[in-house]
C-alpha cells in the first residue's frame, strides 16, 4: 500500500493551488463578482475560464485528445480539493456539477458521433448541460425505478411526456441528459434546449447559493427525440445513471473537502490572533480540541474519497466505498463549517467571510446524489452480503 502521489499530479496540484489562491479567492470579497444567485457572474467567469485555459489547467478530468489533461479519479481528487478551496473554484476549471458528471458519462458511453455533437461543446465550455432525472411524487426520487416520465417509440423517434424537478443548471443548459421510462425499462436520451415540446415551469428557490441556471422544474409535452440521440441501449438507463452517479458523487465529495478545508483555515486564522480572558483563543485547549477534531474528520473524509477513487481508477465500481465517502464528507462539511462559524464568533454569522455561504450551501450535501439514508441502505446491503468480509483489504488484483 502506498500513500503517495505521482510527481505529475503533485505539480498540477501546486499549480492549481497557486491559481486558486492568487486569482480566484481574491474575487470572493468583491460584491461585484457575484450574480443574482450568489455565484460568480458570467462575465467574470468567462474571463477567468480564459485564464485557466491559458494556464493549462482546463478540464483536467477529460481525455488529452479531447483537450483535457487525461487525469483519472485519483488526480481529480487531488485537484478538485484544491479548486473548491474557493466557492467559485470548480466552475472556473470546468470541473463543477452537473457538467462534470455529464461529461464523464458522455465520454464513457456515448458513440463517437454523439461525443462530437454533445460532449465536445461542454468540454470546450461553449455550452452548459443538465441531467433530468428526479420527479415530484408519485414519480422517481430516491427510488429511480418509480420514474413516470414516459418515452414512446414511433417512426424512429421517441415522444416524451412527463415532469422533472430540481434539475440543476436547466436555466442555462443547452445539452440535456434525460431519463425516461420506455416499455423496456428506463432509457437515457439527449436533447437540445432549442427542441420544442418542453419548458421550464419554474426555477425553484432554494436555501443556499445556486449553480448557474438554478434548480428547475421541467415539463415535457410531446418532446420528440430522434433515436440517434438515445444514449446507450434501450432499458439500460438505470445502469448508465449509476455509472454517472458513482463518480459524480465522489467528485462532489472531492470538492466538498476543499470547502471544509477552507472553512477550517478561516477559523484557524481568526483564533490565532483573537484574544480573550488574557490569552489567544488558539492557546485554549477547548479550541485546540475542536480544531483537531475537525482536521481529523477532514482527513478521514480524504482517505475514504481517495480509496474509492483508487478503486474506480483500477476498474471497480466501489459502490460501498462511494456511499461511505458520500455520507462522511457531507457530515464533515456541515460540521466543520458549523465549528468554523462558532470559532469566528459574530464574524462567523456575518457576510464578511464566506462561511455563511458555505453553511447554507452545505445542507444540500446530505440530500443530493442520494440522501444519507439511501447510502446507509446500500452500505448495509453490502455488509449483509459479505458479513465480516465487508472489511477486507484487496490482495494482488483483488479490489
Ligand X SMILES: Cc1cc2nc3c(=O)[nH]c(=O)nc-3n(C[C@H](O)[C@H](O)[C@H](O)COP(=O)(O)OP(=O)(O)OC[C@H]3O[C@@H](n4cnc5c(N)ncnc54)[C@H](O)[C@@H]3O)c2cc1C
Chain residues that interact with ligand X, rule: CB under 6 A: 98, 131-134, 141-142, 166-168, 206, 215, 364, 367-371, 373-374, 377
Q: Cβ 225 to ligand X, closest distance in Å?
A: 17
213 vs 348 by CB, closer to ligand X: 213
C-alpha cell at 174: 443547452
Phi/psi for 174 (5° steps) reads -105, -35
Q: Residue 97 Cβ, how far from ligand X at the closest point, in Å?
A: 7
Confirm if 83 and 92 have CB atoms less than 8 A apart.
yes
Residue spans of alpha helices (H) in 128-226:
none
Pick between residue 149 and residue 339 the one whose CB is nearest to ligand X: 149
- 308 φ/ψ angles, rounded to the nearest 5 degrees: -65, -40
H or E element at residue 9: helix 7-19
**Interatomic CA distance for residues 50 and 126, integer angstroms:** 12
Q: Which is nearer to ligand X, 13 or 366 (CB)?
A: 366
- Is 206 in contact with 230 (CB distance < 8 Å)? no
Nearer to ligand X, 41 or 364 (CB): 364
Which one, of 310, 238, 226, 302, lies nearest residue 264 by Cα?
A: 302
Residue with the CB atom nearest ligand X in the bound state: 141
Cβ distance to ligand X smaller for residue 241 or 282: 241
Cell 483563543 sits at which residue? 281
Element (H, E) at 276: strand 275-276
Q: Given the DSSP bridges, would you call strands 173-182 and 128-132 parallel, antiparallel or unpaired?
A: parallel
Minimal distance in Å, beta carbon 14 to ligand X? 32
Instruction: Closer to ligand X by CB, 121 or 141: give it.
Output: 141
Closest to ligand X by CB, 133 or 180 = 133
Neighbours of 146 (CB within 10 A): 13
- To ligand X, the closest distance from the beta carbon of 382 in angstroms equals 15
Find the shortest distance in angstroms from Cβ 62 to ligand X.
20
Name the minimum Å distance from CB 23 to ligand X: 27
Choice between 21 and 142, CB closer to ligand X: 142
The CA–CA distances, whole Å, from 47 to 50, 58, 84, 100 equal 5, 13, 18, 20
Q: What is the CA radius of gyration of the chain?
A: 21
> Residue for cell digits 463578482?
33
Smallest gap from residue 190 Cβ to ligand X (A): 15
Q: How far is the CB of 200 from ligand X (least distance, A)?
A: 13
Give the start-end residues of each E strand in 155-247. 157-168, 173-182, 185-192, 198-203, 215-226, 230-231
Amino acid at each position: 500500500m502506498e500513500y503517495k502521489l505521482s510527481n505529475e499530479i503533485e505539480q498540477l496540484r501546486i499549480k492549481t493551488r497557486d491559481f486558486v489562491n492568487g486569482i480566484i479567492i481574491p474575487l470572493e470579497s468583491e460584491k461585484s463578482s457575484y450574480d443574482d444567485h450568489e455565484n460568480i457572474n458570467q462575465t467574470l467567469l468567462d474571463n477567468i475560464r480564459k485564464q485557466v485555459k491559458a494556464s493549462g489547467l482546463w478540464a483536467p478530468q477529460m481525455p488529452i485528445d479531447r483537450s483535457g489533461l487525461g487525469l483519472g479519479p485519483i488526480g481529480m481528487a487531488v485537484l478538485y480539493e484544491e479548486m473548491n478551496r474557493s466557492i467559485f473554484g470548480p466552475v472556473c476549471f470546468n470541473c463543477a456539477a452537473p457538467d462534470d458528471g455529464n461529461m464523464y458519462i458522455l465520454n464513457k458511453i456515448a458513440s463517437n458521433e454523439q461525443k462530437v455533437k454533445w460532449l465536445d461543446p461542454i468540454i470546450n465550455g461553449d455550452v452548459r448541460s443538465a441531467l433530468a432525472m428526479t420527479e415530484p411524487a408519485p414519480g422517481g426520487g430516491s427510488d429511480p425505478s418509480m420514474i413516470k416520465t414516459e418515452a414512446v417509440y414511433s417512426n424512429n423517434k421517441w415522444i416524451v411526456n412527463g415532469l422533472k424537478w430540481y434539475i440543476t443548471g436547466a436555466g442555462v443548459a443547452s445539452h440535456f441528459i434525460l431519463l425516461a421510462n420506455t416499455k423496456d425499462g428506463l432509457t437515457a436520451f439527449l436533447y437540445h434546449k432549442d427542441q420544442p415540446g418542453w419548458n421550464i415551469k419554474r426555477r425553484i428557490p432554494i436555501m443556499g447559493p445556486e449553480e448557474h441556471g438554478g434548480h428547475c422544474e421541467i415539463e415535457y409535452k410531446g418532446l420528440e427525440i430522434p433515436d440517434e440521440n438515445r444514449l446507450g441501449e434501450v432499458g439500460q438507463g438505470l445502469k448508465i445513471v449509476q455509472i454517472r452517479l458513482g463518480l459524480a458523487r465522489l467528485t462532489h465529495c472531492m470538492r466538498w473537502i476543499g470547502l471544509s478545508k477552507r472553512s477550517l483555515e478561516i477559523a484557524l486564522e481568526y483564533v490565532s490572533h483573537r484574544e480573550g480572558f488574557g490569552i489567544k483563543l488558539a492557546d485554549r485547549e477547548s479550541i485546540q480540541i475542536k480544531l483537531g477534531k475537525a482536521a481529523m474528520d477532514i482527513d478521514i473524509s480524504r482517505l475514504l474519497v481517495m480509496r474509492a477513487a483508487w478503486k474506480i481508477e483500477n476498474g471497480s465500481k466501489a459502490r460501498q466505498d462511494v456511499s461511505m465517502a458520500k455520507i462522511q464528507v457531507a457530515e464533515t462539511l456541515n460540521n466543520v463549517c458549523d465549528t468554523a462559524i462558532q470559532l469566528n464568533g459574530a464574524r462567523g454569522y456575518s457576510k464578511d467571510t464566506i462561511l455563511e455561504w458555505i453553511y447554507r450551501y452545505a445542507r444540500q450535501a446530505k440530500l443530493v446524489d442520494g440522501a444519507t439514508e439511501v447510502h446507509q441502505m446500500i452500505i448495509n446491503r453490502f455488509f449483509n452480503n459479505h458479513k465480516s468480509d465487508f472489511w477486507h483489504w484487496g490482495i494482488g488484483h483483488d479490489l
